[in-house]
Amino acid sequence: MKIPAPVSLVMLLAMTLVCSAYMAVAVLDWDPRRETHTITVLLDSSGGLMDISEVDLRGMKIGRVERISTTAEGLAVDVQVDAAYPIPVDSEVRIGNLSAAGEQFIDFRPTSEAGPYLGDGAVVPASQVKTSATVSDTLTKIDSLTAQLDPATLERLVSTFTVGNLGRDEDVAKLSRAMVMFAQMLHDKKDAITRLYVNVQTLGDNFDGYGSVLGDTTPAVESLTPNAVQIIQEFEHYSYVGENIWDQPIGPLVTKLGEYLGLLAPDLALVSTIVKPATSQLRPLRVDAGSIMNILLTVFPDSGPARIAVPVPN
């Protein structure tokens, strides 16, 4: 049966609308029901951000960068975020890399859940922003480092290494196996190593600004070092002096004292055998804690003073 042309046109139009809606909602993440806030983040440098970079809240995507413009002090980055996720005003802002390829993103990291929160039109100062090194900056520094290496020195090092490995095929094979096992370990423990790297990076960020404080302790450490070395030397000397004292004079004395105590100590087994008939009469004794508590409650009631019953003789 042949479908009429008008019906085919209507079906094609319906499929076009469905595909467009899917592209807008699933791919472009566009939702007309969603309320958004536009926040301006001030930066000293872009750090590789683009007007399509991702915006996260503790690693969870909540928006994207809308526009990057220049100011007299640096850059102003307008980001659009989902209003359903409150962001405290004092949140730290990180600009990092999503991967080794260098896709930069903005990550809000609140220090607490308490407000006030960033609203529409809010501005985050540059003092709250920390920018990670970009791939281009890292490559530039590596290039500057390699430019300072002397080719003649490198050639001598290679020659020395080659001569040192002659006749060591078995050792090289063992080293190669160790490296393969190390690579396998890194693969198996990838998640744990990643967490360790993130924790160390966070620890380094938390120590930012404490360099001068640690530098102030240098005179104290310098004055402490000779005394600490002297204490270690004295302990070493004491260990040499006390080695023969503990093994020869004091050791036999302690042994002999143990023998004397063994002779003077009573025979506990014999004592327990003698006392057993006298202590056997104590076994049936039982303490009725409930009766004692009833007597105490009767004498000292909760509703008044203590009561004492005195029997009257006949």
pLDDT tens sequence across 6-24: 767 777 788 887 777 766 6
Of the candidate ranges 74-88, 99-113, 181-195, the one whose mean pLDDT is the lowest:
99-113
Instruction: Transcribe the chain into DSSP letters.
Output: -PPPHHHHHHHHHHHHHHHHHHIIIIIS---TT--EEEEEEEESS-TT--TT-EEEETTEEEEEEEEEEE-SSSEEEEEEEETTS--BTT-EEEEEESSTT--EEEEEE-S-S-S-B--TT-EE-GGGEEEPPPHHHHHHHHHHHHHTS-HHHHHHHHHHHHHHTTT-HHHHHHHHHHHHHHHHHHHHTHHHHHHHHHHHHHHHHHTTT-HHHHHHTHHHHHHHHHHHHHHHHHHHHHHHHHHHHHHTTHHHHHHHHHHHHHHHS--HHHHHHHHHHHHGGGTT----HHHHHHHHHHHS-TTSS-----PPP-
Amino acid at the residue 87: I
> 26 pLDDT band (50/70/90 cuts)?
low
- Would you tell me how many other CB atoms lie within 10 Å of the CB of residue 24? 13
% of the chain with per-residue pLDDT over 90: 3
Average pLDDT over residues 134-152: 79
Contact 106, 65 (CB under 8 A): yes
Q: CA separation (Å) from 39 to 48, 63, 80, 96?
A: 19, 11, 6, 19
Average pLDDT over residues 205-221: 72
- Could you tell me the residue ranges of all domains in the chain? 1-32, 36-137, 149-205, 213-268
Average pLDDT over residues 187-214: 81
Mean pLDDT, all residues of the chain: 77
> Quick check: 216 pLDDT over 60?
yes
Both tokens of residue 281?
């009469």
| pLDDT of the residue at 72 | 84
**Which span out of 93-97, 135-139, 189-193, 202-206 was modeled with the highest average pLDDT?**
189-193
Query: Judging by beta carbons within 10 Å of its beta carbon (0-12, 13-18, 19+), is residue 187 exposed, middle or buried?
Result: exposed
pLDDT tens sequence across 55-92: 888 888 888 888 888 888 888 999 988 888 888 998 88
Residue 83 vs residue 297, higher pLDDT:
83
> Quick check: 282 pLDDT over 60?
no
Which residue in this structure is represented by tokens 């802002």?
Answer: 93
Average pLDDT over residues 229-245: 74
Q: How far apart are CA 111 and CA 123, in angstroms?
A: 18
pTM: 0.40
Which residue in this structure is represented by tokens 């096992």?
Answer: 181
